[in-house]
Structure 1
Amino acid sequence: MELSDPRAVLAAVTSVLRAPIGGILEPLSEVLAEFLPHRALAMLTGDCARHPLRTHGEQPLAGRITSGELARAGAGVEVGEPWFGHARLAGESRLALIVASRPAGTSGALLAVVTDGDGVPGPMARDLVRLLWELLAGHVSDRGARLPPADLAGSRVAAGERARVIAELTDAHAATLASLLATLRSRTLGDAAARAAATDLAVSALIELRATGDLDRSLSEQSAGAAFDRLAGRLAPLTRHSEVALELVGPRAAERSIPADVAHAAQAVVRGCVVSMLEHEGVRRIRAAWELEEAALRVVVRDDGPGVATADDPPMRRLTELATALGGRLTLDAVPGWGTTVTAALPLAPAVAAGRAQGPLSALRPRELDVLERLARGLRNRRIAEELRISEHTVKFHVANILDKLGVTTRTEAAALAHASGFPSVA
């Protein structure tokens, strides 16, 4: 591209603007390569709930760049003032040009250009990257607001999943801290015993956290009884050295299978309620029960405390968001002098996003819909795995489930059903 030729410049910009959101970095890389040699590009935008981070370039470098790294690298970069220097990307310190942009009405976007380490970008190159990124950041935001129904629904699913995971991890963290504090404040334990108990709790929490990081909650199911037993084990440290009596009543249909995401949400609701109730003076008894209904898991947590809790309390708001993310609901009933009752109804069938999973697709879970969408675009398993950052084996597992649930035998038939339900046929 000759920078002195306006037609060449406009043609290059047009090629980038015409690209779909998911493929915008490839043509951008081709344009930048003309005046800024680089190894990889990474963009982070606050206007795309589903795929805030996108990368392109040399592998495995590009694929190892994380949103956390990019956010930290761009934390001090001012809008309109490109920054060049060493930034930690893909696990190592690398030379990169980072540009920030925040068009009116957007949440802002970052672009990192990992250079090949040969020279420093001059003022003209930096300014060209800045201008291109300002143009593209506004374009990405505008395109994101006009996504097809299938993609819009996918963003809603991703936002809900993010809210659910954040709520669960926050509850787990709060429960661990509460357990540690209860142990250290215990009047029945000596210093050495308290330290030993606190150490055991911390080690158990770390093991659980690491296991949670490897868990694909959208894949599996588990028996309600086993899920409740795990909850009981996690709650035990909360009242082990407390005067509060904790009564746990498991589901009668203990052998019945429930979705793993529902089980984790129910565990988080009980754990969050117990932690919150233990903070109130006068609580002597807490009762938590699960009851399996035909279409939902009902969770009830009741205490005999002062009855001063409200739905606006931060822990209750967080648990309400968790239930809502799964398509359920959470209510709180507090009677002064009599106690507080929290009830959550969590649907056993996944909530169907409007416009995305109607008719034959309603049986698919969110991750299966993600895979089907890419399958419908003609992507092979390896490419699907790269986009979703999962293994090829997991993709094959999802595809097999999709074919079985849709009652078809080939990927082509599954793609046809997806297109008929509103999925786009191109990326």
Structure 2
Amino acid sequence: MLLVLGARIPELTVDLTEFAAVLPSPTPVGAAYRTVYAAVRSGDSTIWTDAVRQWRALGEREEEARSLLGAAEAALVHGDRTEAGTALLDALTIATDLDAAALVDVAQKMASRARLSLGTQAKGASSGHQVSSTLGLTPRELEVLRLVAQGLSNRGIAEELFISANTAGVHVSRILTKLGAASRTEAAAAAHRHGLFPASVRGIV
């Protein structure tokens, strides 16, 4: 239990350091939590990667996603944007598959703060997970993105989907955040790169 608390509540790690270090790890789960605990305390991305491997071997995908987020954060601290992007993409893929909204939100916000486009990191992913075919977008957001890729303005999108221009703008903002895109052009490029829409759909220029 102490290992679990230390892993989930970073503020406790310093206080529990000496005590947890001498505790046995009788189960693979306990060993994985011990690794997470060490990663939180050290901020070492390689230790986070070890935790990812352990959770993956156990089939604990939610904990794997949490550790991937830890690895991404550590990589960003050390200036490794490629590693961070790969870890974030893998975490987002797992979180989307699990419908874990909180983890999806964390991954997207981290990518947005770091100005990382998760779409452009797809080829660098090495964990074996495949990128979600919808990139974490809802059906409505996919409709909006398709129209963005055609070059429509918020007003044009609103007319096509029978919604208000303000609502269209909200959808566009959410799409940019989810894709880690800085502009509508970048979002459209990500959509085409991942084959979300037919080749006949033109991207904006």
Q: Which has the larger radius of gyration?
A: 1
- Report the TM-score when normalising by structure 2: 0.33
* Structure with more of its chain in strand, by fraction: 1
* Structure with more of its chain in helix, by fraction: 2
- Report the TM-score when normalising by structure 1: 0.17
